[in-house]
Chain A
């Protein structure tokens, strides 16, 4: 039976289990004189039976889906004659692939090795037996569970506790999904970076000032050894992020102050959502806005002043990225400023402070920890931003602080390293993982510092 059909059957079975156990508990309660004589509500008896019916068989099914391929393939390989036994992992995979292709008919059986045709035959056989076996096992397990759930129903059964324990487990595993995903990503990046650092020394990567990741595939090619100094990339990233923050922090903060302290409710009701629309624009739209509108404009203006402006300047990417971050900062700062208690405003105004004095001397300092935290979060966003810089910043890794020059960023390089045909044992490709790891570490440190700053100020101000 197909897995989807099996799941539907399981669902129906557990619904049946629910109703049977529930009505049994109700019937038992009636003879005792009401539901209050049961330990748990009938719902829990039903749920307990449904869980017994569905959960063990589901686990069995999942286990089979996870492990059927390796089990079947080890059967196949061991059934092959001595001459065909694979010697390496690559050969092993190749062999399995051709068996698979013969079995599905993509490779004609006549043109193939007879041993492989036989293996394909047995693959089909193994698959169908395996599926049948599992279907039978899953169904019988669920019927057994249903029966167990039904038999155990009694007024003293602590069904509620058992059901709640299962639900707590489900909630916990949901929480674990995010954690394990992060851990998995981190481990894979770490592992690949480790392979990269075996090929390229970490000191060269961290302190090298030249980035040209061209690796020769054959030894006689030109430029056979690339250089992997990441400093120019980080300089470019920091330059663009800096320009973005120079735009976003003052504009964002001041708009937040206006919205929170000066705007009339009507103005606020209009301006705040409008500002937040900015946050909803996809970054790719910002990207071509930067590349097609802002960059040429900056170039023309710069040339009007007699300045040398490259067509993909750090300034263009930074400005547009800054605009993108404005709503992020303004909405965070607005929340923080609004959270400053009205009593502090009253206290300051009551001492004869003007509104702007109150904002500068009381509200802003009181809101500062939140604002600093928001700004640091915005910085880590700017550093990790990809789409705008891919479209508007250049590819040439230059060490420059000139915003009119072209620079490249870590994220841009990761994209270019991984686009196109790749070989996953070349340092060129692995460099993307090392860069990713660096980026991860930098944003992690930033977030950590942001949280510490917020906490420190909070201790001081509460």
Chain B
């Protein structure tokens, strides 16, 4: 999939990214606005002027970015740069954090995510999430996958539910390993299998977007490779936003890469471009390992 990128800045790009008084690295200044191609002509989700605060502390500064249909966008950056916070703002998981406040405009298919009309519960059914640490419920493998479909009434008969479970597990690449032990607890699986179970659980409710928050950081290299393959397959049907600490992973799985630095979105470009010819010095400094 290739989303057409907006190359001329005709799409009006809100300014004000730079906070010149803020600290910077090696004397490199933040760009006036996010460099590269953060905005798309047609997008699945779009974020404009997003600020996120924890109490008095601002974690995200004026982020503007689009996510295209069936695109994998990777978010990279040093620890504490706000990429996870930003991800959790997209499906309003931050609502559960009392002190967290999100401003700006975030839309999914043109609908305002933070409008009072949007039900966060319905939103999260459309924007699924896979977490850093595999968190299967203390239930059987079957019940783990069937959890979402049961909640949302996606199956009226047992056979339908069975089918959803099988398809989801197959798509998550877990069916052959799990089909004989569907009634055993999901917590008894290995770490990598647990994470694939969580992915199966997320796709069982047919979300439109899947958010992944460092899904491989608790896994060994083989399990990681499997998840990465899975992401590539899933991108045919889903829009995926993945936060990762591993630049190699971002390079392997994503179409576009967004580089966050201390709460600012510095650069968004095609992944290949980011890792071969980054536009901004901060991105270059990070991917060449000068900090991070």
Residues of A bordering B, CB below 8 Å: 264-265, 341, 343-354, 357, 361-362, 365-366, 460-462
The minimal Cβ–Cβ distance linking B165 to chain A, given in whole angstroms, is: 14
**Chain A residues whose CB sits within 8 angstroms of the CB of B131 once the complex forms:** 343, 346-347, 350
Tell me if A352 and B93 are in contact (CB < 8 A). no
Apart from the given pairs A347-B198, A351-B148, A353-B147, 12 other A-B contacts in the complex at a CB distance below 8 Å: A265-B98, A346-B131, A346-B135, A347-B136, A347-B137, A347-B201, A350-B124, A352-B148, A352-B151, A353-B151, A365-B138, A461-B185
- Selected contact of B135 from candidates A265, A347, A361, A461, CB within 8 Å: A347
CA A132 to CA B14, docked complex, whole Å = 100
CA A366 to CA B133, docked complex, whole Å = 18
Map CB proximity to A onto B82-110 as digits: 1 under 8 Å, 0 otherwise.
00000000010100101000000000000
**Chain B residues whose CB sits within 8 angstroms of the CB of A343 once the complex forms:** 131, 133, 135
Residues of B bordering A, CB below 8 Å: 91, 93, 96, 98, 121-126, 128-129, 131, 133, 135-139, 147-148, 151-152, 185, 187, 198, 201-202, 205
**Chain B residues whose CB sits within 8 angstroms of the CB of A357 once the complex forms:** 151
Closest to B137 in A: A362
Tell me if B93 and A349 are in contact (CB < 8 A). yes
Tell me if A354 and B121 are in contact (CB < 8 A). yes
Closest to B132 in A: A343
Closest to B95 in A: A349
The minimal Cβ–Cβ distance linking B240 to chain A, given in whole angstroms, is: 14
CA A341 to CA B135, docked complex, whole Å = 9
Tell me if B96 and A349 are in contact (CB < 8 A). yes
For chain A, what secondary structure do more than half of its interface residues adopt (helix, strand, loop), or is it mixed?
Answer: helix
Tell me if B138 and A352 are in contact (CB < 8 A). no
CA A345 to CA B133, docked complex, whole Å = 13
A-B contact pairs, 23 of them (CB 8 A): A265-B98, A343-B133, A344-B137, A346-B93, A346-B135, A348-B137, A348-B147, A349-B93, A350-B91, A351-B128, A351-B205, A352-B123, A352-B151, A353-B148, A353-B151, A354-B121, A361-B147, A362-B137, A365-B138, A365-B139, A460-B138, A460-B185, A462-B138
The minimal Cβ–Cβ distance linking A369 to chain B, given in whole angstroms, is: 10
Closest to A343 in B: B135
Closest to A350 in B: B129
Tell me if A461 and B187 are in contact (CB < 8 A). yes
The minimal Cβ–Cβ distance linking B143 to chain A, given in whole angstroms, is: 9
Tell me if B135 and A351 are in contact (CB < 8 A). no
Tell me if A351 and B138 are in contact (CB < 8 A). no
| 10 closest residue pairs by CB, A with B | A352-B125, A350-B129, A461-B138, A343-B135, A352-B124, A347-B135, A351-B148, A366-B138, A354-B121, A353-B151
Tell me if B128 and A350 are in contact (CB < 8 A). yes
The minimal Cβ–Cβ distance linking B34 to chain A, given in whole angstroms, is: 27
The minimal Cβ–Cβ distance linking B233 to chain A, given in whole angstroms, is: 21
CA A153 to CA B205, docked complex, whole Å = 78
Closest to A357 in B: B151
The minimal Cβ–Cβ distance linking B271 to chain A, given in whole angstroms, is: 26
**Chain A residues whose CB sits within 8 angstroms of the CB of B201 once the complex forms:** 347, 351
CA A343 to CA B129, docked complex, whole Å = 12
CA A345 to CA B138, docked complex, whole Å = 12
Q: Do A350 and B138 form a contact, CB below 8 Å, given A343-B131, A461-B187, A462-B187?
A: no
CA A365 to CA B186, docked complex, whole Å = 14
Kindly name the residue among A343, A348, A350, A357 whose own CB sees the greatest number of chain B CB atoms within 10 A.
Answer: A350
The minimal Cβ–Cβ distance linking A241 to chain B, given in whole angstroms, is: 31
Closest to B152 in A: A352
CA A321 to CA B35, docked complex, whole Å = 69
Tell me if B125 and A351 are in contact (CB < 8 A). yes
CA A71 to CA B124, docked complex, whole Å = 84
Kindly name the residue among B91, B124, B126 whose own CB sees the greatest number of chain A CB atoms within 10 A.
Answer: B124
**Chain B residues whose CB sits within 8 angstroms of the CB of A361 once the complex forms:** 147, 151
**Chain A residues whose CB sits within 8 angstroms of the CB of B129 once the complex forms:** 346, 350
The minimal Cβ–Cβ distance linking B127 to chain A, given in whole angstroms, is: 9
**Chain B residues whose CB sits within 8 angstroms of the CB of A265 once the complex forms:** 98
The minimal Cβ–Cβ distance linking A13 to chain B, given in whole angstroms, is: 61
Q: Do A352 and B137 form a contact, CB below 8 Å, given A347-B131, A347-B198?
A: no
CA A346 to CA B126, docked complex, whole Å = 15
Closest to B96 in A: A349
CA A379 to CA B191, docked complex, whole Å = 39
**Chain B residues whose CB sits within 8 angstroms of the CB of A365 once the complex forms:** 138-139
**Chain B residues whose CB sits within 8 angstroms of the CB of A341 once the complex forms:** 135
**Chain A residues whose CB sits within 8 angstroms of the CB of B93 once the complex forms:** 346, 349-350
Tell me if B135 and A352 are in contact (CB < 8 A). no
**Chain A residues whose CB sits within 8 angstroms of the CB of B96 once the complex forms:** 345-346, 349
Closest to A346 in B: B131
**Chain B residues whose CB sits within 8 angstroms of the CB of A366 once the complex forms:** 137-138
**Chain A residues whose CB sits within 8 angstroms of the CB of B198 once the complex forms:** 347
**Chain B residues whose CB sits within 8 angstroms of the CB of A346 once the complex forms:** 93, 96, 129, 131, 135
CA A352 to CA B187, docked complex, whole Å = 21
The minimal Cβ–Cβ distance linking A405 to chain B, given in whole angstroms, is: 44
Closest to B92 in A: A349
The minimal Cβ–Cβ distance linking B125 to chain A, given in whole angstroms, is: 3
CA A319 to CA B290, docked complex, whole Å = 69
Tell me if A351 and B91 are in contact (CB < 8 A). no
**Chain B residues whose CB sits within 8 angstroms of the CB of A352 once the complex forms:** 121-126, 148, 151-152, 205
